[in-house]
Amino acid sequence: MSQKITGVKGMNDILPGDVEVWQHVERTTRELFSLFGYGEVRTPMVEDTALFVRSVGETTDIVGKEMYTFEDKGGRSLSLRPEGTAPAARAYIEHSVANQEPVTRWFYMGPMFRYERMKTGRYRQFHQIGAEGYGSKEPAQDVEMMDMVVQLLLKLGLTDVSLNINSLGDDACRPAYQTRLVEHLRAHASELCSDCQVRLEKNPLRVLDCKNERCQQIASAAPNILESLCEPCRAHFAEVQRKLDALEIKYVVNPRIMRGLDYYTRTTFEFIAAHPVLGTASTVGGGGRYDKLVKSLGGPDVPAVGFGLGLDRLCLLLKESGQQFGRATDLFIAVADEGSADAGFTLTSRLRREGFRVEFDTRGGSLKSQMKRADKVGAVFTLVLGEAERQSGQAQLKRMAGGDPTPVRLDELAQTLRTALKAH
């Protein structure tokens, strides 16, 4: 007996029954983001490894521990994309988009890959919705991004999600803060986890993003980055808050919001859900400003801001919300005898071309088994087709929920069904 092959650990199948939730989120996202003037971009799932080393940061956990990296047959080091911002920036530069338009707004959806410890809402193949805005350094662009996420969450019916915001400063003020932070962390160096002891030497800001309980306690007593902002960064952050207030978007100023990537400057934000279904993976999305990223990758000196949302986590929350997704089966056509199979098959095809969702069991079988199938697929109406119906050209349209059947001419079935569905 051959050994059963299973899926790769941490990379999940999405089957009918669940995929309708995903389709609902994707459809809602496309409709909403288009209202904001964002166009969809699709980048490859594999990129040159150097792209992520230069953008995400060599000392981040993503690059240091989590990327799926391999050498192809040409001897090139390639990686499955662990996030979407760097590939979008690479495409923006490669296609000289800055020369074509002063402001660019993109969004994307798709799988990302990180080899990390798995738990609810955190997988090795996970899916993201992301957006990037290039060309505007104004606080209004930051707030537009947050507003877009807020509106998406509202359209999805996810109201128990809070917005946390912070500013990381820039090259003018962050070094002074980093000096103060290092002084604080060195006083507790022996208490930090082994990873943070390395981060302390290479990238101390990353210690503030550690999930280790003791490291979090030490970080909570660290200097507040907002107290070290230079005047331009302070003014930028104040304007972000003023515009959020103007849009009546509720938020919490949280100086511990750092994000896990090296390219952020000034504004950072996270959307945090309170629902227990996510466990410790309570952040459903986040982002911020990265004004130096495009230039650091060899492109023009163009400011940018963006975000990423965990599609897996959004879908977990939606499944817990009790909402219903997916279109019901309008009609199930059953056949009472073998001689009616062709007529039933033809009628099914004709109604599908009219835009109805119609189920037909190609296996045939007893009428009882077909009606069980009609119940399982959640058909609103059923119609039984036998020799008598074929000869008379008339049948009975029956509501599965009960009630008197409706006589219907087979050549007028589409019109009658459409009227009945509207009434339903």
* Ordered DSSP codes for 342-379: HHHHHHHHHHHHTT--EE--TT---HHHHHHHHHHTT-
**The CATH homologous superfamily of the domain defined by 331-418:** Anticodon-binding domain (3.40.50.800)
Query: Both tokens of residue 187?
Result: 């006083």
Which run of H or of E encompasses 407? strand 406-409
Strand 304-310 and strand 283-289: the pairing is: antiparallel
Strand ranges for 42-189 from DSSP E = 46-48, 69-71, 77-80, 104-113, 125-134, 161-167
**Torsions phi, psi for 342 (to 5 deg):** -65, -40
The angle at the Cα of 234, spanning 230 to 235, to the nearest 5 degrees, equals 120
Write out pLDDT tens, residues 22-35: 999 999 999 999 99
Domain ranges of the chain: 19-173+229-320, 331-418
Q: Which two tokens stand for residue 191?
A: 């208490």
Tokens at 1, concatenated? 């007996």
Confidence of residue 46 (pLDDT cuts 50, 70, 90): very high
Residue 59's pLDDT is what? Answer: 55
Task: Kindly tell me if the per-residue pLDDT of 178 is higher than 70.
Answer: yes
pLDDT of residue 211: 76
According to CATH, the topology of domain 19-173+229-320 is BirA Bifunctional Protein; domain 2 (3.30.930)
Does the predicted TM-score (pTM) go above 0.95? no
CA distance 178 to 176: 5
Bridge partners (DSSP) of residue 134 are: 104, 304
What's the confidence (pLDDT) of residue 279? 73
**Picking from 118-122, 176-180, 191-195, 295-299, which range would have the lowest pLDDT averaged per residue?**
118-122
Q: What percent of the chain stands above pLDDT 90? A: 71
